[in-house]
Amino acid sequence: MSAFRRRRGIAAAAGLLAAAVFAVAACGGDGEEEAAADPGGGTPVAATLGGDAGEYAITVDPTSAAGGDITFSIVNEGELEHEFEVFSGSVDPAEVPIEEERANFEGLGVEEIDEVEDLAGGDEAQLTVDLAPGEHLLVCNLPGHFEQGMHTTFTVE
């Protein structure tokens, strides 16, 4: 084998090793990135941010599902960056205090389950969550977005 072929083989092996290390490193973390990337096997629900309903809207279809794993397929059809947060419990949006342009849910009987952050216009993500029966709140809580109507309810039967 020529020295050139040997060096090319070593370079290819090094590249594969680097890719493997990157893949393993990408599997770690706090779970948010994993949840966004892992489609899971839950009941599918289409979630749209922005789009035909207006830049500051969240729509889901269907609006209810059986309890257990639910996979939200999220599409940001708007032009602005949005996020998608899932809370257990329900609260009248008019009763939610706004602090520094964000909804403050502390003491309102709702609990954050999971979220997908930083969805630029045109981005897509999936989020699988295990939801118990009851009402759940879906929101974008970037500054000013909740106040402008980026929230909806989702019912688990």
Q: Are residues 21 and 4 in the same domain?
A: yes
CA distance 15 to 125: 28
Residue 47 and residue 74: Cα distance in Å, rounded?
5
36 HSE (CA, 13 A, CB side): 17
Q: Are residues 96 and 19 in the same domain?
A: no
Kindly state whether residues 25 and 95 are assigned to the same domain: no
Q: Give yes or no: residues 10 and 52 share one domain.
A: no
Do 46 and 101 lie in one domain? The reply is yes
Contact residues for 67 (Cβ-Cβ < 8 A; gap 6+): 131, 132, 133, 156, 157
The amino acid occupying position 123 is: D
Domain co-membership, 16 together with 58 = no
State the pLDDT at residue 36: 41
Neighbours of 69 (CB within 10 A): 14
- The CATH number of whichever domain residue 69 belongs to comes to 2.60.40.420
Do 13 and 46 belong to one domain?
no
Q: Are residues 107 and 77 in the same domain?
A: yes
User: Residue 37, SS3?
Assistant: helix
Do 60 and 21 share a structural domain? Answer: no
In a shared domain, residues 65 and 123? yes
Alpha helix segments (H runs only) across the chain = 3-26, 32-37
Domain containing residue 94:
39-156
- Quote the number of domains for the chain: 2
56 and 75 fall within a common domain: yes
pTM over 0.85, yes/no: no
What pLDDT tens digit does each residue of the chain (157 aa) get? Answer: 444 334 344 444 434 333 333 333 333 334 343 344 445 578 999 999 998 889 999 999 999 999 999 999 999 999 999 999 999 998 999 999 999 999 999 999 999 999 999 999 999 999 999 999 999 999 999 999 999 999 999 999 9
Instruction: Specify whether the CB–CB gap between 147 and 101 falls below 8 A.
Output: yes
Record the tokens describing residue 36, joined without a space: 């966004």
Same domain? 57 vs 22: no
